[in-house]
Amino acid sequence: MDVIEGPLMEGMNYVGELFGAGKMFLPQVVKTARTMKKAVAILQPVIESEKTADVKSAGKVLLATVKGDVHDIGKNIVGVVMACNGYDIIDLGVMVPVEKIIQRAIEEKVDMIGLSGLITPSLEEMVHVASELEKAGFNIPLLNGGATTSKLHTALKIDPVYSSPVVYLKDASQNAGVASKLLNPELKDSFAEEIRSEYQSLREKGRPVQREIVSLDDARNNKLNLF
């Protein structure tokens, strides 16, 4: 676990920063993710051997790359990190329609849902998924992340359509810690309120400035006389 959460995640986060800054491109990100996947596969037997049969699950998490998106790099890394922290992972793969997300979430009785997206159209699909989860009566936390996602988009578009906690996560290393707070009876309410307050602040800052509209006649009367 120290190796995964230490040098491996630090390397992936650094690559993510370079990708976000336009200094590294998708093929290099994919290659890095494959390297991490192979490293985790080597460590997996050791991780499994350290687990005991009577260890209680930290929670059940459903992961999915939303409909229209075929990228699974980030989602897979999140799954590995959370599984290593004791969470049961239900991975639905890529291009997952909202109907399947809702159906499996009900069948598996999951504790939270994580959505991933790497392309711009995924942003609107995440809003759609959140809206449908609200209509279906879900009251579990919703996590979202991926190259195109952001805290501002989450605050402006996703949080308003889903009444339960919605949390944007910049990188995979944050997921386990955030999940533990959201599922802790003593911490979840205060943590959710902290997130809501932050989103409200972002919404207020992102709200367009209202400008007074001057009528055409007034504009003509106030014209600048240059001659």
**Domains in the chain, ordered, with CATH?**
1-49 (1.10.1240.10), 57-206 (3.40.50.280)
Cα dihedral across residues 45, 50, 53, 55: positive or negative: negative
The count of other CB atoms within 10 Å of the CB of residue 208 is 5
Assign residue 68 a region (left: φ > 0; alpha: ψ between -120 and 50; beta: otherwise): left
Contact criterion met (CB below 8 Å) for 123 and 157: yes
Tell how strand 166-168 and strand 142-145 pair up.
parallel
H helix intervals, the chain: 2-3, 9-20, 26-50, 73-84, 98-108, 121-135, 151-153, 175-183, 188-206, 216-221
- pLDDT at 165 (0 to 100): 96
Residue 8 or 165, more confident: 165
Query: Model confidence at 226, in pLDDT bands (50, 70, 90)?
Result: low
* Rounded-to-integer distance, Cα 12 and Cα 32, Å: 7
Residue 169's nearest CA partner among 129, 141, 138 is 141
Say what the pTM is.
Answer: 0.78
> Do residues 179 and 59 lie in contact, with contact meaning Cβ atoms separated by under 8 Å?
yes
Q: What is residue 30's predicted lDDT score, i.e. its pLDDT?
A: 76
Separation between Cα atoms, residue 180 and residue 30, nearest integer Å: 29
Active site residues: 69, 71, 122
Decide which of 198 and 6 is more confident: 198
Token pair for residue 19? 């990708």
Q: Taking the CA of residue 172 as centre, how many other CA atoms within 13 Å lie in the half-sphere pointing to its CB?
A: 30
Place of tokens 């711009």: 120
Q: What is the pLDDT of residues 161-204, one digit of tens each?
A: 999 999 999 877 788 889 999 999 999 999 999 999 999 999 98
Whole-number Å distance between alpha carbons of 89 and 81? 10
| Alpha-carbon radius of gyration of the chain | 21
Tell me, what's the pLDDT at 53? 53
